[in-house]
Amino acid sequence: MVERHRIKMPTLGWVRLKEKGYIPVNATVRSGTVSQKAGRYFVSVLIDVQESYEQAERGDGIGIDVGIKDFVSASDGQVFGNINKTSAIKRTEKRLKRAQRALSRKYEQRKRGEKSATYRGSNIRKAVLRVQTLHMRLANMRSAYRSYVVSLLVKTKPAFITLEKLNVKGMVKNRHVARAVSNQGFYDFKLKLLSACKKYGIEVREVGMFYPSSKLCSCCGHKKVQLSLKERTFTCENCGISLDRDFNASLNLKQATEYTVLT
């Protein structure tokens, strides 16, 4: 049983929820799971709801190019930067490194015999909780930013959104960009985008991972054979047009004729 601010659980009875409005009050609850993470308790609920899609007048479709320099570049001119370059993320990452070093020192003391091998005193437990809390804070900040980007993209009510299928497994094999790719959370962004577009009746198109969106000229269609990652401006050798590399890619994705419909 669910009410606006509380949920009824077996054995525990009524439990107050810190956040309100996430669980529909009139929905049928099928099952629930309680979990603990970084000293906090969470409840996940499986419910039955009737799907409804919002139908409204649609504007022009858009193409979006995701990357590391900028998280999302859209063909309508919207650009969303990389949150991992912001001071808030960098500050939290520094605090996490300090907390990890402090925890490591406590474990080293135990290895040297200053503490027993089974010792796990309150100081170590506090240090572990501190590291877990900072990890969760970083994950929440990044997840919230992805949700924010998705909300602004669907807010324009485009007829469709086209994105490129990424070879994330191949990208993380490159040790120079593996961490940056992992922190961007491209797959989580894609899931959030699919969910939002399904809710608002927006078609999501996906082109193949070998589609040369960055090398094609969005104006004349000429393909540039050589284009290094360091080149941030696309200059067409045929028509001479010069565009931002990511913006040019987003225009090509919008104009793509071969794609798979995901929603």
According to the model, what pLDDT value does residue 77 have? 93
Dist CA 212 CA 209 (whole Å): 8
Dist CA 151 CA 72 (whole Å): 13
According to the model, what pLDDT value does residue 52 have? 64
Q: What is the pLDDT of residues 147-178, one digit of tens each?
A: 999 999 999 899 999 999 988 888 888 888 89
According to the model, what pLDDT value does residue 43 have? 86
According to the model, what pLDDT value does residue 106 have? 85
According to the model, what pLDDT value does residue 146 have? 97
According to the model, what pLDDT value does residue 119 have? 55
According to the model, what pLDDT value does residue 57 have? 64
**pLDDT above 70: residue 115:** no
Least confident of 20-24, 55-59, 103-107, 156-160: 55-59
Query: How does residue 39 score in pLDDT terms, banded at 50, 70 and 90?
Result: confident
Please confirm, yes or no, whether 70 is among the known catalytic residues: no
Please confirm, yes or no, whether 48 is among the known catalytic residues: no
Can you give the pTM of this predicted structure?
0.84
According to the model, what pLDDT value does residue 25 have? 74
Please confirm, yes or no, whether 65 is among the known catalytic residues: yes
The active-site residue out of 3, 51, 60, 65 is: 65
Q: Backbone phi, then psi, for 91, in 5-degree steps?
A: -65, -45
> Which residue, 235, 209, 208, 211, is CA-closest to 224?
235
Sign of CA dihedral 193, 195, 197, 200: negative
The active-site residue out of 76, 93, 237, 246 is: 246
The active-site residue out of 57, 76, 164, 206 is: 164
> Which residue, 198, 152, 200, 159, is CA-closest to 61?
159
According to the model, what pLDDT value does residue 45 have? 85
CA angle centred on 188, ends 183 and 193, rounded to 5°: 130
According to the model, what pLDDT value does residue 191 have? 96
Q: What is the pLDDT of residues 205-230, one digit of tens each?
A: 999 989 999 999 999 989 888 888 78
Percent share of the chain, pLDDT over 90: 54
**pLDDT above 90: residue 79:** yes
The structural domains of the chain, with segments of one domain joined by +, span 1-50, 51-261
According to the model, what pLDDT value does residue 110 have? 74
According to the model, what pLDDT value does residue 53 have? 61
**pLDDT above 90: residue 80:** yes
Burial 32-67 (b: 16+ CB within 10 A, else e): beeeeeeeeeeeeeeeeeeeeeeeeeeeebbbbbbb
186-200 vs 122-155: helix crossing angle, rounded to 10: 40
